[in-house]
Amino acid sequence: MIDNELNEESEVRAKEIANESTLDAILVRIGEFGRFQLFNYVLLCLPMIFNAFQSISYVFTASSVVYRCNVTLCDSARSEYWEPWLNFTIPSTNSNFDQCHHYAIIHSSDVQLKCSAENFNSSQLENCNDYKFRDHEYTIANEFNFFCSNEWKLTMAGTFNNIGQFIGIPLGGLLADKFGRRTMLAIGGFLSSIMGLIKSFATNYSMFLTFETFDMIVGSTLYPTAFLLAIELVGPKRRVAAATIITMFYPLGEALLGVFAKQFQNWRILLRVLYAPAILHIFLLTLLPESIRWLLSQGKEGKAVAVLTEAAHVNGKFVPELNFINLMESNKQKLEDNAEEIYPIKDAIKVFFWRIANCSLCWFTHTLIALGLSLTSVNLGGNKYNNFIWNGLIQIPGLLLPLFVMDSLGRRISLFASMLTCALCMAATIFFAKYGEGVELALFLIGKFAITCSFQILYFFTSEIFPTKVRNSLLSLCSMVGRFGSMLAPQTPLLVNYYEFSPQILFASFALVSGCLTLLFPETANKTLPTTMAEASQLSKNVNHRKCNDN
């Protein structure tokens, strides 16, 4: 009798020790967000800002500039962009002067050639050979003479940038899994800095595009790697806050990019200002600890325990050595078990084909609109730099709102409502932009806020509608398909050559169609995260369960 009680007590105590020896339990014990985590978290916020610089600096370096024909009969070295004689020398539409043509000069022995209306034939146009510029902005358009029929070459910079991301994000993930997340973060940021600085010395268009692509191949991994390191540093109760806060530094980086671009309007100088400080990424190899979870996944339990011991010491906490011993033993057993598991990715694609297709369309729509709106911001009326700064800042509340609506309204309704709001704002722009730049900017910012909100919801939603074993793979697949949207987004400004509001019509159409299709997704709020394919298939049934936070 006494022996049985002792055995039961021993078993209970053994379970308690095992529970206390999980990584999450140890993180709670050493402090979920102590001085150790705070110092490293601040360091990880910096790559997020630099990644924003790298990802979208082409908005200004490859921007089109405002120009008009240099009318040789009237212009001089001292003449300005606006001159009173433009009315009879250059055709205009809606108060905008034609950038590529001027009225033909009448050559006659009877007429003295001077800057007067009688010397220009308003029924005949000639192509421009030289140009006058309104602003002091100097981009690759000025550098390589990309005007009129060659302006499409400017938008290709954005497409090549996103091709680099398409290659770099999965490649960076594979290398981070093999060599370590800290290592990839430090080396990727350092190499991106080198690529950006070389790009600032580009002597021709091909060289610029080449290093724009290489820049993102090596640097696009900064965002996902810094994000993962940040949420792995903290305890379970602080992960949502940690994930939300660190993502805010990306739009903050966009806003800072607008500030720097406003101050440094020469594209070469701007690139050097943005990329030179990023060389300091290399010091993360000594300042940052390696990811504890990555060390454990590689069977490097000793190094993982060393990081945890240092964290406990810095935070002034004590963790019994037995907890570390049990963590190492359980991790070894887990690695052995995982080695025998089979990940049925092909079966999952067959079972969830329509769900994956719908999810991929949703990702495509979000990358197209989110990036497309950022690029459109510099073409709105008013100051392009201020518009872009607002474009970055409005994303911060857009990242916060989902925390308050996802559980109360549900993922599906929240996603649909956000996308519908974006579609309505884009459509409203067509009818109300005529009432002034302020109205157009307000509608634009509400639309940007809405698509940012829905994009944040989509990240959570996608991770909840697929089973555990294939969750990461299918999330990556949907994200990869979505990257095609960001490749096309840089071309959307060219649509204004056909109709002023063509980009808004495109964005509204995709947001409306894809938004309606999100209603076909199963609701995941207050439901257990699916572990098996059978459980994932059952999500569409209206059976609520207590949500499990760790699968």
Q: What is the pLDDT of residues 393-444, one digit of tens each?
A: 999 999 999 888 887 888 889 999 999 999 999 999 988 888 888 898 999 9
pLDDT at position 548 = 41
What is the residue extent of each domain of the chain? 23-65+145-341, 67-134, 347-550
pLDDT at position 428 = 93
**H helix or E strand, kind and range, residue 520:** none
Query: DSSP class of residue 282?
Result: G
Q: What is the pLDDT of residues 260-310, one digit of tens each?
A: 999 999 999 999 999 999 999 999 999 999 888 888 878 888 888 888 888
CATH topology of domain 347-550: Growth Hormone; Chain: A; (1.20.1250)
Q: Name the burial class of residue 272, with classes exposed (0-12), middle (13-18) and buried (19+) by CB atoms within 10 angstroms of its CB.
A: middle
For the domain 23-65+145-341, what is the CATH code? 1.20.1250.20
pLDDT at position 8 = 46
3-state DSSP assignment of residue 264 = coil
Helix-, strand-, coil-residue percentages of the chain, each rounded to 5:
70, 5, 25
Q: What is the pLDDT of residues 16-36, one digit of tens each?
A: 444 456 777 888 888 888 888
pLDDT at position 342 = 56
Could you check whether 23-65+145-341 and 347-550 share the same CATH topology?
yes
Pairing of strands 120-127, 101-105: antiparallel
3-state DSSP assignment of residue 68 = strand
Position 543 confidence tier, pLDDT thresholds 50, 70, 90: very low
The span from the CA of 257 to the CA of 262, in Å, is: 8
Position 338 confidence tier, pLDDT thresholds 50, 70, 90: low
- Can you say whether the dihedral through the CA atoms of 382, 384, 385, 388 is positive or negative? positive
What's the chain's average pLDDT?
A: 84
pLDDT at position 86 = 85
Long-range pairs for 165-168 at CB < 8 Å and ≥24 separation?
165/55, 165/216, 165/220, 165/483, 165/486, 166/480, 166/483, 166/484, 166/487, 167/216, 167/217, 168/216, 168/217, 168/218, 168/219, 168/220, 168/221
Q: Cα 228 to the chain's mean position, in Å?
A: 15
Geometric angle at alpha carbon 210, from 208 and 215, rounded to 5°: 95
